[in-house]
């Protein structure tokens, strides 16, 4: 399913702005603000003599409980004066930063970021990364780019993946999945989605090939589900497994099936989990829920980073310690064909299945489709065809630096990826559009007031994240020592989804900062 930019931008006008305010407020809370201009500190005020009270005992005297140092100037010392000045300055800068934000700028950023389908390692994504760097430079930030040569995976867009069935006693093969989604949305959005490649369903690093065999349903494809099948002597040897998303990583679904002898894997989104068990009329574009032809793309890679250069940056001079055949043999990526499908096609497949119903120990395996859920396809034979290939491609990370005044070698980092399976209007570029506006706001306020943060702000835009955190992992592998010495905090600004409720996660050290930042949102 491609993006629906027209509908989403109306919603993002509120949502993105809210996230931007929270993120910047959090930035202000984390970073100790200072100015570039040297201020002369006033002399500490002279405190009056303390008043001592005599109590009943004739051998001791005590002072009254100390007053609040921030309310009683006579108790203030030089340190308190500095703290008071810094807090007042931070409050003023925080207000200016928040007021400088322009939601329409975020909208405009999102428009150009999502103008084309930009999968990692393609010319389209390289163009987006280049323009992104130029945009940061136009704000006055220092730009650094980092290239890597990595192994990526792509579908054959002209030959989508297919699933066919040969019913028992028949010779003909009937198509039950054509491997593509239906274009949805208002007319303007459908016109903007003029790239048919966005409709293809595929998984990164899926094995190219054809799998033929009986069909076995494996619920969520978790280890628990496979063990339950084992306990009932249901073999996967030579079978194609069909499982639903929602419990474990898709790559683990495929690997566990392959280890039990499966020759192919089909993964679908059940409406019980992804459409709130609603009818098709109550799904996108009428609501936020996944429509029948929506399918979840994603990587099947079991590791992070370039699979050929574990623990080393994927530079041209780096020795490749393994190869694709070995990786598939060792289950780092599947050695059988795998494809995702929407529940539109899953419904058709289950309608062709004639095996026993899911009952007894398997009763919880029933989903939300209006069909009888069965354990297998009976005597019918299924054929899964996956058209995919791998290739060595160049990816580029963009890091834009706004240097700090006091500790420029200490970094507060903001991170997000840019690549997407299709246009990426939500994941990830709702976050990228916000980061660009954050950089503009910081630079604008700095130019206007002379203020600079104490530490350097690093705006990090990663490439090839969708394939398995490839860009960010390679960057860490190349700059591990530098990051150990410089990185102070990292805020992941990935995407905006759900409603306007803030949901944030972080290390305990940042809990108070998160609360304080959220309190600044109007």
297: DSSP letter: -
Summarize the confidence of residues 17-32 as an average pLDDT.
57
Query: pTM for this one?
Result: 0.85
Going by C-alpha positions, the residue among 464, 295, 436, 422 that lies closest to residue 4 is: 422
Q: What is the pLDDT of residue 121?
A: 99
Q: How far, in Å, CA of 394 to CA of 341, rounded?
A: 29
Q: What are phi and psi of 253, to 5 degrees?
A: -60, -50
Whose structure tokens read 């060595």? Answer: 392
Over residues 252-297, the pLDDT tens digits come to 999 999 999 999 999 999 999 999 888 889 999 999 899 999 999 9
- Parallel, antiparallel, or unpaired for β 209-213 and 451-453? unpaired
SS3 65: coil
SS3 216: strand
- Contact (Cβ atoms closer than 8 angstroms) between residue 412 and residue 402: no
Burial class of residue 386 (count of CB atoms within 10 Å of its CB; 0-12, 13-18, 19+) = buried
Residue predicted with more confidence, 131 or 184: 131
Q: Which CATH number fits domain 157-386: 3.90.1150.60, 3.50.30.30, 3.50.50.60, 3.40.50.300?
A: 3.50.30.30
Query: H or E stretch including 149?
Result: strand 142-155
Whose structure tokens read 């109306």? Answer: 10
Any idea how long the chain is?
Answer: 522
CA distances from 501 to 16, 30, 143, 518 (A): 12, 22, 34, 11
Percent of the chain with pLDDT over 90: 73
Across 178-291, the runs of DSSP E, i.e. the strands, are: 203-204, 209-213, 215-217, 240-244, 264-268
Burial class of residue 107 (count of CB atoms within 10 Å of its CB; 0-12, 13-18, 19+) = middle
- Parallel, antiparallel, or unpaired for β 388-402 and 142-155? antiparallel
Q: What is the pLDDT of residue 187?
A: 85
Q: How far, in Å, CA of 156 to CA of 339, rounded?
A: 13
Q: What is the pLDDT of residue 185?
A: 86
Set 437, 465, 466, 474: catalytic member:
465
Going by C-alpha positions, the residue among 134, 153, 127 that lies closest to residue 396 is: 127
Q: What is the distance, to the nearest Å, from the Cα of residue 183 to the centroid of all Cα atoms in its chain?
A: 24
407 counts as catalytic: no
Q: Is the pLDDT of residue 133 over 80?
A: yes
Q: What is the distance, to the nearest Å, from the Cα of residue 299 to the centroid of all Cα atoms in its chain?
A: 13
Q: Is the pLDDT of residue 115 over 60?
A: yes
Summarize the confidence of residues 474-498 as an average pLDDT.
92
Over residues 192-222, the pLDDT tens digits come to 778 999 999 999 999 999 999 999 999 999 9
Q: Is the pLDDT of residue 251 over 50?
A: yes
Q: What are phi and psi of 339, to 5 degrees?
A: -145, 145
Whole-number mean pLDDT of the chain?
88
Q: How far, in Å, CA of 333 to CA of 338, rounded?
A: 11
Domain residue extents for the chain: 5-35+86-153+392-519, 157-386
Q: Is the pLDDT of residue 61 over 50?
A: no
Q: What is the pLDDT of residue 1?
A: 42
Give me the DSSP letters along 326-395.
HHHHTTSS-SS-EEEE-HHHHHHHHHT--S-BS-GGGGGG--SSSS--BSB-TT-EEEEEE-EEEEEEEE
Going by C-alpha positions, the residue among 473, 481, 468, 466 that lies closest to residue 423 is: 466
Has domain 5-35+86-153+392-519 been given CATH number 3.40.50.11740? Answer: no
Q: How far, in Å, CA of 179 to CA of 157, rounded?
A: 10
SS3 406: coil
Q: What is the pLDDT of residue 84?
A: 67
Q: What is the pLDDT of residue 30?
A: 59
- Contact (Cβ atoms closer than 8 angstroms) between residue 88 and residue 97: no
Over residues 404-445, the pLDDT tens digits come to 999 999 999 999 999 999 999 999 999 999 999 999 999 999
Q: What is the pLDDT of residue 109?
A: 98
Q: Is the pLDDT of residue 381 over 80?
A: yes
Q: Is the pLDDT of residue 236 over 90?
A: yes
CA distances from 23 to 19, 28, 133, 186, 437 (A): 6, 9, 21, 32, 11
Summarize the confidence of residues 88-103 as an average pLDDT.
90
Q: What are phi and psi of 255, to 5 degrees?
A: -65, -45
């Amino acid at each position: 399913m491609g993006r629906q930019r027209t509908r989403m931008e109306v919603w993002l006008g509120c949502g993105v702005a809210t996230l931007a305010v929270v993120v910047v407020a959090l930035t202000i809370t984390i970073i100790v603000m200072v100015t570039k201009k040297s201020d002369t500190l006033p002399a500490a005020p002279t405190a009056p003599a303390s008043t001592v009270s005599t109590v009943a005992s004739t051998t001791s005297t005590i002072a009254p409980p100390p007053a609040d140092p921030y309310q009683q100037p006579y108790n203030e010392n030089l340190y308190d004066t500095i703290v008071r000045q810094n807090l007042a300055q931070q409050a003023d800068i925080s207000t200016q930063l928040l007021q400088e934000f322009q939601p329409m700028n975020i909208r405009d950023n999102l428009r150009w970021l999502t103008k084309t389908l930009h999968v990692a390692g393609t010319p389209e994504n390289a163009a987006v990364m280049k323009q992104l760097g130029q945009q940061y430079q136009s704000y006055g930030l220092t730009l650094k780019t980092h290239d890597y040569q990595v192994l990526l995976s792509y579908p054959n867009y002209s030959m989508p993946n297919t699933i066919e069935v040969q019913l028992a006693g028949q010779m003909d093969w009937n198509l039950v999945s054509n491997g593509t989604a239906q274009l949805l949305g208002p007319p303007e959005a459908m016109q903007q989605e003029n790239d048919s490649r966005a409709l293809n369903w595929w998984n990164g690093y899926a094995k190219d090939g054809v799998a033929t065999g009986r069909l076995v349903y494996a619920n969520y494809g978790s280890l628990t589900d496979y063990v339950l099948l084992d306990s009932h002597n249901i073999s996967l040897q030579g079978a194609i497994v069909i499982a639903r998303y929602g419990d474990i990583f898709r790559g683990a679904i495929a690997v566990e099936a392959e280890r039990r002898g499966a020759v192919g894997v089909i993964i679908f989104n059940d409406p019980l989990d992804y459409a709130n068990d609603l009818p098709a009329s109550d799904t996108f574009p009428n609501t936020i829920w996944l429509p029948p032809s929506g399918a979840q793309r994603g990587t099947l890679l079991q590791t992070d980073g370039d699979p050929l250069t574990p623990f080393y940056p994927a530079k041209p001079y780096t020795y490749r310690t393994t190869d694709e055949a070995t990786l598939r043999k060792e289950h780092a990526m599947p050695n059988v064909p795998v494809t995702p499908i929407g529940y539109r096609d899953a419904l058709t497949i289950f309608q062709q299945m004639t095996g026993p119903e899911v009952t007894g120990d398997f009763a919880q395996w029933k989903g939300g489709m209006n069909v009888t859920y069965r354990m297998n396809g009976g005597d019918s034979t299924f054929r899964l065809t996956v058209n995919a290939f791998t290739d060595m491609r160049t990816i580029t990370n963009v890091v834009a630096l706004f240097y700090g005044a006091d500790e420029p070698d200490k970094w507060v980092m903001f991170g997000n990826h840019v690549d997407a399976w299709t246009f990426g209007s939500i994941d990830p570029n709702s976050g990228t559009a916000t980061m660009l506006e954050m950089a503009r706001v910081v630079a604008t306020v700095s130019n206007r007031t002379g203020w600079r943060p104490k530490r350097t702000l690093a705006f990090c835009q990663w490439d090839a994240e969708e394939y398995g955190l490839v860009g960010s992992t390679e960057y860490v592998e190349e700059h591990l020592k530098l990051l150990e010495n410089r990185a102070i905090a990292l805020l992941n600004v990935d995407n905006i989804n759900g409603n306007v409720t803030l949901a944030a996660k972080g290390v305990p050290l940042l809990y108070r900062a998160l609360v304080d930042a959220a309190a600044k949102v109007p």
